Amino acid sequence: MQMTSQEVLKKYFGYDSFRPGQDTLVEGILSGRDALGIMPTGAGKSLCYQIPALLMDGITLVISPLISLMKDQVTTLNQAGIHAAFLNSSLTPGQYRKALSLMVQGRYRIVYVAPERLLTESFLEAAGQISISMVSVDEAHCISQWGQDFRPSYLKISEFIDRLPVRPVVSAFTATATREVKEDILALLGLRDPVQVTTGFDRKNLKFLVQHPANKLKALLDYLGEHDQECGIIYCLTRKLVEEVSGELVKRGYSVTRYHAGLSDEERKNNQEDFLFDRKQIMVATNAFGMGIDKSNVRFVVHYNMPKNMESYYQEAGRAGRDGLPSECLLMYAGQDVVTNQFFIDRMGPAEEETDPETAALIREREKERLKEMTFYCFTNDCLRAYILRYFGEYGDNYCGNCSNCLTQFEDRDVSETARMIIGCVDSAPREYGMTVIVDTVHGSKNQKIARTGMERNPWYGMGSQIPVFQLRQVMNHLIWHGYLTLTEDEYPVLRLTGEGRRVLEGEPVVMKVPKERPKTKDAAGKKSKGKLPAAVGDADPDLFARLRQRRMEIAKREKVPPYIVFTDKTLVQMCILHPSTPREMLKVSGVGEAKLEKYGEEFLEVLRENG
């Protein structure tokens, strides 16, 4: 008898209920419709095509951009007792032929294929001999030139589909929600009246934190000190910084590895696996690391530098907490990050060879605009989550209670006097200057640059000598972000007065939100995790959790798969709480399906029984 999708979810994946949007997509596909799912990282897109794949008659082909991603998914499926395989360049010609012939013999329900294989003779021939019920395109934004992960070979997908004797159901999934990307996906894949689901972008289990540390390395060490035993990623803007930061951490005895485009393929692969298999706890990397990293127990993502835009930030930060347990995203801002990003934008090569100069200039403009919005995120005193959601076109409450701004108490401070000094100084300068000259003038600095500019004679010179420079800068940033002053976008940006700024000179007050007192880590509620326990474990018994983790590690080594593929942290936490003592009870734990119960149930029950 045919199973229902609900039963498949439980039997193979061990989950009791669908997450928002999953059921709509699954049912839509099962009714024969095309589908488009736009959901944030960690929402559970894979199940949306894997479950229908198990219920439809023929084979499902999944197009996926990265070898590591395919391997991870196929291992997960095999662990769940589902026959699946991948076809990509990591296979030898012999292995490839073998897998292809097993596919033709009907051995697999799900086959992952690299897009560049689709139109090869051997694959087309094999595809002609089987019944393909669905072609599912994962990371579908790769088809769009608007996104940053454009893969030309994705453009071949629709030609492949056209060549099939019978058009299968076509489904597509991505976490990128911009209108351009969505339209590209619909058009270039030729989706026909698809069921569409766009779920909210909020990730409630993620805590967002922004710091402006004077000494980043020290701030990082403090942070890691409070998060030992947890897995995390530290993103840096440059290879050089990756080397520096990972070097410092190694020196201090941290379990750390690194990843950037300057390393050999071999080393990158090994380092990535060390991290995935929990052999190394911390990954220090450039943004080259991450696409296709489905590791579910990443407990924190620290950005040692501000990235170039909110899209990148949310994608990278979103690699934390895929298992749904509490996790943190910390961004460490410094003014230099803006400069570095500007530099990258100015040196940006054209996306494609035939890009004309006007288009290239336009793209650069857009990038600068996005950089500004990213910078604003680091300066806003409003709810960070609300800021993110608004950026992606959603409404958020203005209070989430789980970001560094909501956790910090602010007070309104009247900064009109300081603001007037700064604006007055800009207004009365004989020519336009950048931020440093203006701040130094108001502060009354006696450096060479001031002497050279003659700003000592400016009427506002030294008027703010009692105000610390950092405060002058804070107020200046506030004035820029709130449109009282603008900063030009030249190589050496200079300040200009706006109409709003002029009104301040005429007496309009300026009020700025400032933290009541400077909390130690800006994470005001910073509950020191009791003992050495990862915060995500919550109320579970820490010793039992540690023993279950130990058992998981033994199994992972034996089976040569990453530990999170055996069971996720979340599943282990549930075991601690539900404390099952029989296989039947074990099945109630979320994440324990029949295949895994059979394979590992007894070994975990043993640990649970020892615990009494």
Q: Which does 44 bind (CB under 5 to 8 A by kind): ligand ADP, Mg ion, none?
A: ligand ADP
Instruction: Specify the stretch interacting with ligand ADP by CB under 6 A; choose among 16-24, 57-65, 146-154, 155-163.
Output: 16-24
Of the residues 15, 150, 344, 410, which one makes contact with ligand ADP according to CB under 6 A: 15
47: contact with ligand ADP by CB under 6 A: yes
34: contact with ligand ADP by CB under 6 A: no
Q: Which does 42 bind (CB under 5 to 8 A by kind): ligand ADP, Mg ion, none?
A: ligand ADP
Cα–chain center distance at 231: 15
Evaluate whether 587 touches 595 at the Cβ level (below 8 Å): no
Write the interaction track for ligand ADP spanning residues 203-242; mark x where CB under 6 A is met and - where it is not: ----------------------------------------
43: contact with ligand ADP by CB under 6 A: yes
Of the residues 6, 11, 19, 83, which one makes contact with ligand ADP according to CB under 6 A: 19
User: Cα–Cα distance between 36 and 63 in angstroms, integer?
Assistant: 14
Helix (H, G, I), strand (E, B) or coil at 209: strand
Q: Which does 568 bind (CB under 5 to 8 A by kind): Mg ion, ligand ADP, none?
A: ligand ADP
5: contact with ligand ADP by CB under 6 A: no
Among all chains, which residue has been given the structure tokens 């400077």?
518
User: Cα–Cα distance between 415 and 400 in angstroms, integer?
Assistant: 27
38: contact with ligand ADP by CB under 6 A: no
Distances in Å between the Cα of 76 and the Cα atoms of 163, 560, 565, 605 are 31, 12, 6, 22
Of the residues 10, 28, 34, 46, which one makes contact with ligand ADP according to CB under 6 A: 46
568: contact with ligand ADP by CB under 6 A: yes
Distances in Å between the Cα of 99 and the Cα atoms of 4, 50, 64 are 29, 19, 17
Of the residues 41, 257, 404, 477, which one makes contact with ligand ADP according to CB under 6 A: 41
Of the residues 294, 311, 427, 523, which one makes contact with ligand ADP according to CB under 6 A: 294
How many residues bind Mg ion (CB under 5 A)? The answer is 1
Q: Which does 73 bind (CB under 5 to 8 A by kind): ligand ADP, Mg ion, none?
A: none
Residues in a beta bridge with 332? 211
In 10 A of CB 358, how many CB atoms? Answer: 8
Smallest gap, in angstroms, from Cβ of residue 175 to Mg ion?
A: 8
Distances in Å between the Cα of 467 and the Cα atoms of 449, 473, 515, 519, 553 are 20, 10, 17, 21, 56
Our CB check for ligand ADP shows the closer of 50 and 211 to be 50
Residue 98 phi, psi dihedral angles, 5° rounding: -60, -50
What DSSP element (H or E) covers 391?
helix 384-391
Q: Which does 39 bind (CB under 5 to 8 A by kind): Mg ion, ligand ADP, none?
A: ligand ADP
What is the sign, positive or negative, of the torsion defined by CA atoms of 112, 117, 119, 122? negative
**DSSP assignment letter at 431:** S
| Angle (nearest 5°) at CA 292 between 253 and 133 | 155
569: contact with ligand ADP by CB under 6 A: no
88: contact with ligand ADP by CB under 6 A: no
First to last CA, the chain: 40
Of the residues 10, 45, 203, 295, which one makes contact with ligand ADP according to CB under 6 A: 45
Site for Mg ion in 31-60 (CB under 5 A): 45
Smallest gap, in angstroms, from Cβ of residue 494 to ligand ADP?
A: 44
Q: Which does 41 bind (CB under 5 to 8 A by kind): Mg ion, ligand ADP, none?
A: ligand ADP
Give the burial string for 76-96 (b: 16+ CB within 10 Å, else e).
bbebbebebbbbbeebeeeeb
Site for ligand ADP in 307-326 (CB under 6 A): 322-323
Residues in a beta bridge with 232? 282, 300
461: contact with ligand ADP by CB under 6 A: no
**Binding site residues, Mg ion, CB under 5 A:** 45
**Binding site residues, ligand ADP, CB under 6 A:** 15, 18-19, 22, 39, 41-47, 294, 296, 322-323, 568, 590
